[in-house]
Structures are given as structure tokens and as C-alpha cells.
Structure 1
Amino acid sequence: MKSSLKWVGIVLILIVTAACSQQEEESAPSGEAQGIEVQHELGTTTVPENPEDVVTLELGVTETVAALGIKPVGVADDDRPERIAESTMDVIEGYKSVGARSEPSLELIRTLQPDVIIADVDRHEAIYEELSAIAPTVAVVNDTADYQDVLTATETIGRALDREDETEELLDEHQEMRKDLKESLEDVEGNVLQAQYTESNIFEAPTSSFFMPSFLEEAGLEYALQNEEETSEDLTIEQLLKIDPDTLLLTKNEDDPSVKDQLQDDKLWNQLTAVKEDRVFELNHNDWSRRRSIPAVNERMDQMKELFAAGN
């Protein structure tokens, strides 16, 4: 009898121990076990799985987040929502503006109680600790990004949002489009330069280290302004003439006057090969400079085909 009771007691102890162990596992703090570790430009950050409330602090970041199917609760939009692409606005309409990209409002971001913040390393490194005190913050290169930086940032954002499958699909589609573009540009001759004309009679030209020029090189074109240290250079008309690009892409804001009209009587301007060969194209500055994302360049590929077909 005592032996039977002894065995019953042992069984009960085992059952209770197993139940307690299971309960402890179920009630264990979620913390790191349920979070996602994301390596980024300013360190490693643990973000929650499937974050829903996201704040984005750079235009290219906002476009990427939208392309991955997430509507940010807060966006640094410079109080210029018209600069957000229609394809992105279709996803994010109704977001809360958190101010300028260069100086977002920490107070507004705090009120949104985000799950994660996606910042730009160049613009926001100085306030990274403050942002991190509000929510897990991941920093990527976008403001001064080249094409490879944007590819890396896209993968980082995808991991931070727990959307790696969607990110892989986005990048695979992009690579197919880029391959097709490169094949279509194989017979293009001469070099190309992108620039924005300013009121001080200076051409602000992005270099080969900046996003769109570096993408043009990936597409097989020769870019006329090589610089591994700086992302842009200021050129006088004389300096532009020394470079003398075969194709000139002039970016301007929506309300800016035509540069070709302004300079049509300028003697040096008319000596440019691109001018003489009618290969000067005026393009939207927002689309060709501010928008540094894979969705943005995808939207420009058909236009690139048209531009360079017209220039040859």
C-alpha cells in the first residue's frame, strides 16, 4: 500500500512539474525571443515581429515601406505632400506628418507610439538616441545614397518590417526590369550628365556616387562626372562645357521656368554637344533626385528607354 502511494506521489509530482514548466514557457517575457534583430548603419536593433505602426523619416524610405504593403502612421514629408509619388500616396493616404526630413518633430513622433522608426543615417544620426528612446529605430543610407546603398537599405527595411518575402519579390522584379533596360540601351553611344540649374547660374550636378547616376551606370551607360568622394559638384557653364556631355538631363521643380528657354541665347550654352545634337531633356527633379528608392527607379525605366532612344 505504501509502495503504491509512493508511486502515485511521484507521478503527481512529475505532472505538476511538467505543467509548471509549460506555463513558464507560455508566460515567459517575449522580449528578444519574439523580436527580430536588425543590423543597420548605426548598430543592431531588436524590433517587434510584424510591426504595424511605423514612422518613416525620408522620402525613399517611405516609398519602400509603402511598396512592402505597410501604411506608415507618421511620415516626414517637409509639409509638402505633393512631392510624394501617386503610387505611394495610394497606400499611405491619411498618414500624420511629423515635419521636415531634416528636423522631424520628436514630440509628434512620440504621440504616435510607433512600433519602429526608420531613419536616415546622415540626417538623423545626431538624434538617433532620442529616436531610440521613443521606439526601436533602424537607420539606413538614403539622403546621400548611391544605387547599391538603396539596394542594401531595401533589404534592411524589409527585415525591420518582417517583410522579407515581399522584399525579395520586389527586388527580383526590379532586377528583371533592370536587365531588360540594360539590353535596350546596349547601342547607346556617348556619355550622360544629370544637373539642376540654379538662380545663381550654377549647375548642381550629382556625381557617379549618387543614386540615379550610379543606377544609369548599372544600366550600362557612361556617366560623365566621376567622383568617389562627393555626391554632387557645382559647375559653372564653363566647367560644364569642359565636360561637354553627349546627353544632358536637366532636372527642375514643377514651377521652375524652362532652362533651355533661359539659356537659348547663351553663347557657351550653345556650344555644348548635347545642345547642338538636341539631346537636352528637362525632367522632374522630384522623380530624378529626391526619390531614392527601388519603386522610384522602376517607374523611371520606361522614360529612360524613351530618352535615350530619342538621343541616338
Structure 2
Amino acid sequence: MKKWLLAALTLMMVAFLAACGSTEETTESDTANAGAEETEEMTVTHELGETTFNKNPEKVVVFDFGVLDSMDQLEIDAVAGVPQENVPAYLEEEYGNAEKYENVGTLKEADFEAIHAMEPDLIIISGRQAEMYEEFSDIAPTIHMAVDTDNYMESFEGNMTTLGEIFGKEDQVVEELAAIDAQIEEVKATVSESDEKALITLANEGKVSAYGAASRFGIIHDVFGVQQADEGIEASTHGQSISFEYILETNPDMMFVVDRNAAVGNEASAADSLENELVQKTTAYKNDKIIYLDPDFWYLSGGGLQSVTQMVTDVQTAFE
């Protein structure tokens, strides 16, 4: 009887130890898998090349304010460095904090020494930094996420989808883009009922440039469907230089104005030079249809989830 009891107890101990060993193996396996997920690699193909890096980077240097705008909207807590000169006003309180975020230079002159010292996991740049791509890439994986003005919405949505994949925010990005698409459909419906033709301009220290379809601000024509006052404007990032006589001759029903002076902190007001005696003779001026667009959204941070939402709202308001 005692031998039987001893044998039974022995079998129970063996079973218990086996179960413990299985639990430990499972736990170790789960931990290993979790580690593998945390360091999962992804490759992004962009205008300047192909870049491979680990998903969910924890230390990111962001040179594109549109991307910064989107990371803020998606509540991605991975920004470590930004160029703190001319940060858009609506992002200034958070990202203009030099004690919290490393100042990595300006949009056109990066502080490579500071960036190198940070040892970032990822660097995100756009058009203004394209020529420095190789120097950035020597420090850390670098991706180019500028918006292609020839294909604005597809490019913007592609950038946002990529951003969502990098940081595991795919579902939220889908929701954000769906909301923007719905907004755009409303604007297009409103604009389609109007015969008004518009001229898009950038005012800079007394000088004026015009923008048409497929240009930097061409989303107004290409996506929202606003008719052009002059269909012969050349597509250009910097715009076509124009005179005040040209504005009078073109005589737009409405004018959209981006004030670069305000964007870069100059005290001169675009209205002071733009609304002169010649421009006052235009239909746009007479009908109070000179619309000053917020340069933070249109000039500094275009292509972001917040900025594009505001851009749609601005055009909707102009036609109400």
C-alpha cells in the first residue's frame, strides 16, 4: 500500500514539474515574440530612396511641420528634435519648448552635430532638406515625406498611411482621412454651384507671386474645384512673379492670399501693399472677396492632418 502511495506521489510531482516547465517555456517564448514585435523592421520607399528601420521608433527628429502636425494629432509621443525657428503658432507651445525638444537647426540649415549627438532612431525630412538627405542618412535612417503638389491628396494620404504604419496608428489614420474626404466632398459640392474665379497669391515684402493648378497651393483648384482666374499660370513651387497691373487685368472674382511676412515673423502686412489703388478696382476687392489664408497652415505646415482640415475649412468659408 505504501509503495503504491509513493508511486502515485512521484507521478504527481513529475506532472507538476512538467507543467511548471511548460509555463516557463511559454512565458520565455512570449517574451521573445514580444521583443521581436517591438523591433519589427519596415522599409519605406520614398522620393529620395528606400529606407529600412525599426517600427515604433522612440526618438524621432522631424523637419517637416506637416508631419509634426500629424504626429501631434495622432498623439505620437516620439518627437525628440525639431527646428524650433518658425514653428507654427498652433504647435509652438508644445514643440517650441527647447527644454523638452532638441533644437536641430532651421528648416534650411540643420545642426548636424546636435542631431548626431541625439542618436535618433529616425529622421523625417521634406523638400527644404532634400539636398541634405545623404548627410542625414549618415546619422540615422532618413525618410522624405514631402507632399507632391501634382497629386496632392494621393500624396498626402500616402504619407499619412505610412506614418500610421510606422507608429501603429493605422486605424486612427483611416478615420482621420475619412473625415477629411467627407469635408472635401462638401466643399466640392458648394464650389460647383459657384461661377466665381479665383487667383491664388503669395505676398512677400511688397512682391506678389501667383499660383495655379498643380502648384504649391494648387489644391484649391485641383482638389476643391475652384475655377482659375488665369489658366495660364505656370506650375511652380515658388510661384509666378506678377505685378499689380496683372491683378487688375486678370480681375479675379476672389483672391486667396498667403502672407509669407506673417509666416516668417516679419512685421510688414500683406494687406498694406496688396490692397493698393489698382487692386481696389478689382471685383474681388469690391465684393470683399480677398481672403487671407492662415500662413501657419498653408505656408509652414501644409500636408498635415490638422492643416489640411483647416485648409478645407478656409475654402468652404470663402464660398459661404
2:192 counterpart of 1:182: no
Distance 1:145 1:76 in 2: 27
* 8 Å Cα contact 1:39/1:156 also seen in 2: no
Query: Which amino acid in the other structure matches residue 182 of structure 1?
Result: K
Asked if 1:152 is matched to 2:132, the reply is no
With 224-233 and 44-53 compared, the bigger mean Cα shift is at: 224-233
Q: Does 1:239 align with 2:207?
A: no
Secondary structure of the residue that 1:73 maps to in structure 2? strand
1:47 aligns with 2:53: yes
CA displacement at 1:257 relative to structure 2: 4.8
> Cα offset for 1:73?
0.5
1:165 equivalent in structure 2: 171
CA drift of 1:51 comes to 1.3
Contact preservation (8 Å) 2:211, 2:234 = no
Q: How far did residue 278 of structure 1 move?
A: 2.3
Change (3 A) 1:144 1:59: farther
Relative to 1, partners in 2 of residues 1:92 and 1:159: Cα closer, same or farther, differing over 3 Å?
farther
What's the offset of the Cα at 1:75? 0.9
Write the distance in 1 (CA, Å) between the matches of 2:216 and 2:236. Answer: 12
Quick check: 1:192–1:221 contact (8 Å CA) kept in 2? Answer: yes
Q: Distance in 2 between matches of 1:257 and 1:127?
A: 32
Counterpart amino acid of residue 256 in structure 2 = L
C-alpha deviation, 1:265, in angstroms: 5.3
Counting matched residue pairs gives 281
The corresponding residue for 1:113 is 119
2:141 is aligned, of 136, 145, 148, to 136
Within a 5 Å distance, the mapping from 1:10-159 to structure 2 comes to 34-71=40-77, 72-77=79-84, 79-81=85-87, 83-86=88-91, 89-90=93-94, 94-120=100-126, 122-142=127-147, 147-148=152-153, 149-159=155-165
Corresponding residue for 2:291?
281
SS of alignment partner, residue 187 of structure 1: coil
Match of 2:310 among 293, 299, 310: 299
SS at match of 1:74: strand
Which stretch of the first structure deviates more once superposed, 151-160 or 289-298? 151-160
8 Å CA contact 1:147–1:211 kept in 2: the answer is: no
Residues 271/115 of structure 1: CA separation in 2 closer, same or farther (3 Å cut): same
Q: Cα distance 1:282–1:129, how it changes in 2: closer, same or farther (>3 A)?
A: closer
- Paired with 2:43 and 2:170, the residues of 1 have a C-alpha distance of 13
Q: Which of 239, 249, 255 matches 1:248?
A: 255
Distance in 2 between residues matched to 1:123 and 1:303, nearest whole Å: 25
Counterpart of 1:209 in structure 2 is: 214
Stretches of structure 1 that go unaligned for 5 or more consecutive residues are 1-18
- Asked whether the 8 Å contact 1:147–1:212 carries over to 2, the reply is no
Partner AA of 1:247 in structure 2:
M
2:272 and 2:128 map into 1 onto residues whose CA distance is: 35
- 1:163 deviates by 3.0
- How many Å apart are 1:56 and its aligned residue? 0.6
Alpha-carbon separation, structure 2, partners of 1:169 and 1:263: 40
The residue that corresponds to 1:9 in the other structure is: none
Q: Secondary structure at the match of 2:50?
A: strand
Inter-partner Cα distance in structure 2 for 1:46 and 1:265: 53
Q: What TM-score, normalized by structure 1, do the two folds share?
A: 0.77
- Decide whether aligned partners of structure 1 residues 160 and 44 sit closer, same or farther in structure 2, where only a CA change above 3 A counts: farther
**Per-residue Cα deviation, 1:24-65 (whole angstroms, up to 9, x for no partner):** xx69x969x820111111222112021121111121121122
Overall identity of the aligned pairs, in %: 25
**Given the superposition, is the C-alpha separation of residues 124 and 235 from structure 1 closer, same or farther in structure 2, using an over 3 Å criterion?**
same
Name the CA distance, whole Å, in 1 between partners of 2:158 and 2:209: 26
d(CA) in 1 for partners of 2:90, 2:221:
21
**Normalising by structure 2, what TM-score?**
0.75
Query: Following TM superposition, by how much is the alpha carbon of 1:247 offset from its aligned partner in structure 2, in angstroms?
Result: 0.3
Unpaired runs of at least 5, structure 2: 1-24
- Cα distance change of structure 1 residues 251 and 124 upon mapping to structure 2, 3 Å threshold: closer
